[in-house]
């Protein structure tokens, strides 16, 4: 057994683990952080994505011993930030508002991947969102509403109401009376 210490969603945990234990299994079985699902155990689906030291990783491809000393954020630790009193992160809110989920199995990984994408690219185009979520599989939605949700969250995080991506609904131009100024 190896001794590991990791900070998960703001709480430091110290434990003994088998060196072969995957991080996703350690989080779920030992620490009770069950919001991160086990999808494929082969790193193909992306359902188990979480953040390790601020970077997006597939937790089924990382051993728990490799995360020793790491700062880990799971979907359960994702929120709107300091001073939001546990409110959802804007990406989570956008997924709900834009119906970016159906069965919900891929949602934790999609949300975590989207948060990481928007951290590195706060104003992505539709194509950049699609490319940024390539490692995440969804068998229910067809991705259209997921992309809408990410673009909406990007706009919200930037504090703007409009986005340069193609999915944002633009208000139709109002006809102005002759001689009126906008």
Question: CA dihedral defined by 108, 110, 113, 117, rounded to 10 degrees?
Answer: -140
Question: What architecture does CATH give domain 2-77?
Answer: Roll (3.10)
- State in Å, rounded, how far the first CA of the chain is from the last one: 71
121-172 pLDDT tens trace: 999 999 999 999 999 999 888 899 999 999 999 999 999 654 444 343 333 3
- pLDDT per residue as tens digits for the range 69-119: 999 999 999 986 565 677 899 999 999 999 998 888 899 999 999 999 999
Do 90-158 and 2-77 have the same topology in CATH?
no
Using CB atoms within 10 Å of the CB of residue 70, give its burial: 0 to 12 exposed, 13 to 18 middle, 19+ buried: buried
Domain 90-158 - what CATH class? Answer: mainly alpha
SS3 125: coil
**pTM metric for this prediction:** 0.84
Distance from the Cα of residue 153 to its chain's centroid: 11
Which of the 8 DSSP states describes residue 27? Answer: I
Q: Where are the domains of the chain?
A: 2-77, 90-158
User: How big, in percent rounded to 5, are the helix, strand and coil portions of the chain?
Assistant: 35, 15, 50
């Amino acid at each position: 057994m190896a001794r590991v210490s990791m900070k998960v969603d703001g709480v430091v945990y110290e434990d003994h683990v088998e060196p072969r234990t995957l991080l996703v299994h350690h989080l779920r079985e030992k620490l009770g952080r069950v919001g991160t699902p086990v999808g494929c155990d082969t790193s193909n689906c992306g359902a188990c994505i979480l953040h390790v030291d601020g970077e997006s990783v597939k937790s089924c491809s990382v051993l728990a011993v490799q995360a020793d000393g790491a700062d880990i954020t799971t979907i359960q630790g994702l929120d709107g930030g300091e001073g939001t009193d546990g409110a959802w992160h804007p990406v989570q809110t956008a997924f709900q508002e834009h119906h970016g989920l159906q069965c919900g199995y891929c949602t934790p990984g999609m949300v975590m991947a989207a948060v990481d994408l928007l951290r590195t690219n706060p104003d992505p185009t539709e194509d950049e969102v699609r490319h940024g979520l390539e490692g995440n599989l969804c068998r229910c939605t067809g991705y259209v509403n997921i992309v809408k949700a990410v673009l909406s969250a990007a706009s919200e995080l930037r504090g703007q109401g409009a986005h340069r991506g193609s999915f944002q609904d633009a208000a139709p131009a109002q006809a102005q009376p002759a001689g009126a100024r906008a």
